[in-house]
């Protein structure tokens, strides 16, 4: 029974790593499609989400099944609970990549991103990619210190994402935005999607660190609640 | 020990109901402040969030404590896991009310909502209020059938929210928007905050229904991932 239980835990842990790879790849592809106004690439991201949702569902079921059939001790229990929270965040990250792809599809054959913001959006995509890769490493790793270090790096990357997000608003609001309301809405939503993608990754990493070190990350507002002021 | 455990469960359950009341009240106040350009009301919402965050933190700790000190059986375990997911959603709903309040504060003494959208935003506030109240009832109730009925009503209310959200974009994009880019950004973000508030409530209600009936609500994409297309 212990063997079954631990192989169940390993399966869940593997699913989390796999989901983090998939949503990272989805956001990479969504960014590329956005910048190239590539509707085929965007469609591919949208299709890819079904596999992530399916993995989410199966992993959640697996976790509930383990809870129902075994009486895991406290540490294992906390692992399962952390995993349940983690899959929900990762599923949401996949949705956010889909949201980016849908804006690309909606504006095709035009680009949703005006020339002067291409650089900023590309950089937001790069930061998202880095954050997703580090989140995978946090999930796959087994050295607590390395995981803590990675989680701190993710927090720094998240600050960089927030700074890029603010930069979008500076451009939108400098008084000479020539692209109209529709483009402003697209950029506002895109900025929000990348920022939330990063926030969910921070949340996954912080919970894993809490699990392995017992050290509680900072207040929920500090990270997850951050609203970039529209100044 | 069972008594301690069950009083712990009751405490967690009470905290969820209390959080749902608080975030509902916050969103009500945030809507009133938004429509009246009332910076004092907005500040009050922003301050109120600390209590919600605190309750969130304490409830999460309490849940982990119960997991660590007892070996709850499957049903109780699932209750705790559902509660952990629930408090995270409710905490986020509080953040979204704060986001609305911050836009009010940022634009004060002007209103962030142009006259022609006041009715739609007021209606979004009413739907959010209704959804929050029903979520409280789902959390506080003990009749499974009544809870299922309420969860279905919340799903219908959420569809109404999505329709209102779409209406915002119709007004923004009808080609004669006279209020400039800044107001368009505010409305875009406000729309998103109300829509997400509703989505999180749907998520709480669905999980409670899953807990009490074993019936899995529909695919995660159907509700939580819904992106209102900017057409």
Query: Per residue in B33-77, pLDDT tens?
Result: 999 999 999 999 999 999 999 999 999 989 988 887 887 777 888
pLDDT of B214 above 60: yes
Q: How far is B146 from chain A (nearest CA, A)?
A: 24
ipTM computed for the complex: 0.89
Q: Do B227 and A98 touch (CB under 8 A)?
A: yes
- Best of B19, B49, B185, B195 to substitute, by most chain A Cβ atoms within 10 angstroms, is B185
Q: Which two tokens stand for residue A56?
A: 């989410």
CB B161 within 8 A of CB B131: yes
Q: What's the CA gap between B154 and B186, in Å, rounded?
A: 26
Q: What's the CA gap between B190 and B230, in Å, rounded?
A: 14
pLDDT of B226 above 50: no
Cβ within 8 Å of residue A137, ≥6 positions away: A146, A150
pLDDT of B182 above 50: yes
pLDDT of A230 above 80: no
Instruction: Give the mean pLDDT of B207-213.
Output: 90
Q: What's the CA gap between A145 and A47, in Å, rounded?
A: 37
pLDDT, position B215: 76
Q: Which residues of B183-213 are buried (b: 16+ CB within 10 A; e: fewer)?
A: bbbbbbbbbbbbbbbbbbbbbbbbbbbbbbe
pLDDT, position B71: 74
Chain B positions touching A49 (Cβ under 8 A) are 221, 225
Q: What's the CA gap between B70 and B63, in Å, rounded?
A: 11
Cβ within 8 Å of residue A36, ≥6 positions away: none
- Residue pLDDT, tens place only, A92-145: 999 999 999 999 999 999 999 999 999 999 999 999 999 999 999 999 999 999
Instruction: Give the mean pLDDT of A210-229.
Output: 59
Q: What's the CA gap between B159 and A93, in Å, rounded?
A: 22
Q: Which two tokens stand for residue A19?
A: 């989901």
Beta strand extents in chain B (DSSP E only) = none
Chain A positions touching B69 (Cβ under 8 A) are 74
Q: Which two tokens stand for residue B64?
A: 């982990």
Cα–Cα distances (Å) from A113 to A27, A162, A205, in that order, read: 16, 18, 30
Supply the pTM of this predicted model: 0.92
Share of chain B above pLDDT 70, in %: 92
pLDDT of B227 above 70: no
pLDDT, position B67: 80
pLDDT, position A221: 42
- Cα dihedral B177, B180, B182, B184, rounded to 10, equals 10
Cβ within 8 Å of residue A82, ≥6 positions away: A207, A208, A210, A211
Chain A positions touching B190 (Cβ under 8 A) are none
Instruction: Give the mean pLDDT of A168-191.
Output: 96
- Residue pLDDT, tens place only, B17-44: 999 999 999 999 999 999 999 999 999 9
Instruction: Give the mean pLDDT of B154-182.
Output: 96
């Amino acid at each position: 029974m212990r063997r079954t239980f631990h192989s169940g835990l390993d399966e869940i842990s593997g699913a989390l790593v796999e989901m983090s790879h998939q949503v990272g790849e989805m956001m990479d592809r969504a960014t590329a499609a956005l910048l190239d106004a590539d509707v085929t690439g965007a469609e591919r991201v949208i299709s890819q989400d079904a596999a992530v949702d399916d993995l989410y569902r199966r992993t959640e079921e697996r976790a509930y099944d383990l809870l129902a059939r075994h009486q895991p001790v406290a540490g294992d229990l906390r692992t399962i609970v952390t995993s349940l929270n983690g899959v929900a965040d990762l599923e949401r990250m996949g949705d956010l990549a889909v949201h980016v792809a849908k804006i690309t599809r909606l504006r095709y054959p035009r680009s949703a991103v005006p020339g002067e913001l291409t650089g900023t959006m590309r950089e937001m995509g790069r930061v998202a990619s880095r954050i997703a890769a580090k989140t995978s490493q946090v999930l796959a790793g087994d050295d607590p210190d390395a995981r803590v270090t990675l989680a701190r790096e993710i927090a720094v990357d998240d600050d960089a994402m927030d700074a890029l997000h603010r930069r979008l608003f500076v451009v939108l609001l400098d008084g000479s935005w020539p692209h109209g309301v529709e483009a402003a809405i697209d950029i506002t939503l895109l900025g929000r999607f990348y920022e939330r993608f990063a926030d969910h990754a921070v949340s996954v990493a912080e919970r894993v660190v809490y699990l392995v070190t017992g050290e509680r990350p900072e207040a929920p507002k500090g990270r997850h609640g951050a609203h970039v002021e529209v100044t």
